Amino acid sequence: MQSMSKLALFGGRPVLDQKLPFYNSIGQEELDAVVQVLRSGCLSGFYGNWGDEFFGGPKVKELESAWSKRFEIKHSISVNSATSGLYAAMGAIGLNPGDEVIVPPYTMSATAMAPLLYGGIPIFVDIDPNTFCLDPQAVRQAITPKTRAIIAVNLFGHPAPLHELKTIAAEHDLKLIEDNAQGPLATEYGQYCGTIGDIGVFSLNYHKHIHTGEGGICVTHDDDLAQRLQLIRNHAENIVEPLNIKNINGMIGFNYRMTELSATIGVQQLKTINKHVKKREETAQKLTQGLQGLEGLETPQVRDKCRHVYYLWSLRFDADTVGVSRERFSRALAAEGFPHFNGYVRPLYLLPMFQQKIVFGNNGYPFNLSNVSYKKGLCPVTERMHEKELMCYEICMYDIDENHIRLLIDALHKVYEHRKEL
Ligand SMILES: *Cc1c(COP(=O)(O)O)cnc(C)c1O
């Protein structure tokens, strides 16, 4: 077979000799919808004071009610990013300075920034090496009298152990927040990720399954949390009096409002979400099928009764079994034209802000309210995945057909078969 000839790294022909095309989910419906909003002259329907416009314009309201219906949840609150949504969630639960919030270190940084914004202390807890999501046993061990919440991340589109975490949260009177930026339509035991915890946060940024450029949605079954999220989104400080809000902890409002332009795109994207998610899922499943039996390369694990929606498709690399380091293997794979990156993100506690314990001002607040430690070695599984084992393929980004899938599989087989030369 031609593809099995000399490695491209050593001058052979690469298996994929063209760049994979980018996936574009924006169609005529989105274009028409945006033009209609532009023609109306009203690009945002929000007003930062009490009245009907406090809840946003017609497209924002349409998106929110369509989202609630699609995800089978009582309340959807649109925001201008998932980052804003996570911040709003921490305000909504009334976090106090010094409160501890359990978070995984293997996630996009916003997950761990959210508690800090309200003076909370992120407590990093290690992950399960099979799903890269929070390890519930480690969560149990990290709970102290100061713990107030758990932020679970449905990483790469696979559900964290949400029902188990919900049980743990109930036992200790904690809130469970889901960062579901990567997991729209993922499910655990038939229930949508994002809707299992007290608040779930979705992202509509450009890189996610469906997008509005920038944007996010918070969802909750709880009326009080929904109202607090709406207040924080839009200048709560002005609204607590007209609404006669008694508990004003956390009622400093931001401008996290979504524009009518984004919302109208969101309405259209939501109509086709099944198609976008299914395409990634099928591509991932074909890659996985094509790579069975290569010892030392582990394709994504899916827990029983879970749906994985593959924001990223991952490979776990066992250097001892393969007989070569991930970095060498990766270099040969890149030369064959297989786009990927290694290690996902650095464990978040290694960021300068945690290492130096400097965020707000120079006196160490809020870390000075706690004796938390962020030393290297804190979460060994995460460090091992980052430094040695994980390889990531950004499946969401590319428009891949059958032929591309075949070539990607061939590229991996080719490098694997030539591994002794590396
Ligand atoms: C993308 C992402 C976010 C942030 O989403 P934005 O909408 O860009 O703010 C947060 N958490 C995770 C896990 C993400 O992947």
- What is the 3 state secondary structure string of 311-337? CCEEEEECHHHHCCCHHHHHHHHHHCC
Instruction: Give, using CA atoms, the residue closest to atom 1 of ligand 1.
Output: 181
Q: How far is the CA of 396 from the centre of ligand 1 (A)?
A: 14
Strand partners, 103: 124
Q: How far is the CA of 210 from the centre of ligand 1 (A)?
A: 13
State the pLDDT confidence band at 396, using cuts at 50, 70 and 90. confident
Our answer on whether the CB atom of 409 is closer than 6 Å to any ligand 1 atom is: no
Mean pLDDT of 391-411: 92
337 and 8 in contact (C-beta within 8 Å)? Answer: yes
Tens-digit pLDDT profile for residues 98-144: 999 999 999 999 999 999 999 999 999 999 999 999 999 999 999 99
Our answer on whether the CB atom of 212 is closer than 6 Å to any ligand 1 atom is: no
What pLDDT does residue 45 have? 96
Q: How far is the CA of 324 from the centre of ligand 1 (A)?
A: 33
**What is the average pLDDT score of the chain?**
96
Candidates 182, 199, 311: which one to mutate for ligand 1, based on the most atoms within 8 Å of Cβ? 182
What residues contact 165, with CB distance under 8 A and at least 6 apart? Answer: 134, 136, 139, 150, 152, 176, 197
* Two tokens, residue 23: 């996936």
Q: How far apart are CA 72 and CA 217, in angstroms?
A: 14
Q: How far is the CA of 110 from the centre of ligand 1 (A)?
A: 7
Q: How far apart are CA 55 and CA 67, in angstroms?
A: 15
Q: How far is the CA of 83 from the centre of ligand 1 (A)?
A: 6
What pLDDT does residue 302 have? 98
What is the number of the ligand 1 atom nearest to the C-alpha of 215? Answer: 7
Tens-digit pLDDT profile for residues 223-248: 999 999 999 999 999 999 999 999 99
* Two tokens, residue 178: 């889901």
Residue 239 burial (10 A CB sphere; 0-12, 13-18, 19+): buried
State the pLDDT confidence band at 326, using cuts at 50, 70 and 90. very high
State the pLDDT confidence band at 303, using cuts at 50, 70 and 90. very high
What pLDDT does residue 395 have? 85
45 and 53 in contact (C-beta within 8 Å)? Answer: yes
Q: Residue for token digits 């608040």?
A: 199
CA 310, 312, 316, 322 torsion-angle sign = positive
Our answer on whether the CB atom of 179 is closer than 6 Å to any ligand 1 atom is: yes
What pLDDT does residue 371 have? 94
Q: Tell me the CA distances in angstroms from 355 to 113, 362, 410, one per residue in order.
A: 14, 14, 43
* Two tokens, residue 340: 């990927």
Our answer on whether the CB atom of 78 is closer than 6 Å to any ligand 1 atom is: no
Instruction: Give, using CA atoms, the residue closest to atom 8 of ligand 1.
Output: 205
Our answer on whether the CB atom of 205 is closer than 6 Å to any ligand 1 atom is: yes
Phi and psi at 297, nearest 5°, equal -120, 115
Our answer on whether the CB atom of 410 is closer than 6 Å to any ligand 1 atom is: no
Q: Residue for token digits 């066992």?
A: 318
What pLDDT does residue 18 have? 86
Instruction: Give, using CA atoms, the residue closest to atom 2 of ligand 1.
Output: 181
What pLDDT does residue 397 have? 86
Our answer on whether the CB atom of 182 is closer than 6 Å to any ligand 1 atom is: yes
H helix or E strand, kind and range, residue 185: none
What pLDDT does residue 4 have? 66
State the pLDDT confidence band at 338, using cuts at 50, 70 and 90. very high
Q: How far apart are CA 344 and CA 106, in angstroms?
A: 8
Our answer on whether the CB atom of 348 is closer than 6 Å to any ligand 1 atom is: no
What is the number of the ligand 1 atom nearest to the C-alpha of 214? Answer: 7
What pLDDT does residue 304 have? 98
Domain regions of the chain by residue span:
28-271
Mean pLDDT of 285-311: 97
Residues in the chain: 422
What is the strand order of the sheet 306-307 is part of? Answer: 191-192, 187-188, 306-307
What is the number of the ligand 1 atom nearest to the C-alpha of 204? Answer: 7
Tens-digit pLDDT profile for residues 17-27: 988 999 999 99
The answer as to CATH 3.40.640.10 being correct for domain 28-271 is yes
Candidates 78, 203, 207, 344: which one to mutate for ligand 1, based on the most atoms within 8 Å of Cβ? 203
Q: How far apart are CA 296 and CA 98, in angstroms?
A: 43
Our answer on whether the CB atom of 113 is closer than 6 Å to any ligand 1 atom is: no
Q: Which residues of 77-99 are buried (b: 16+ CB within 10 A; e: fewer)?
A: bbbbbbbbbbbbbbbbbbbeebb
Candidates 127, 132, 151, 179: which one to mutate for ligand 1, based on the most atoms within 8 Å of Cβ? 179
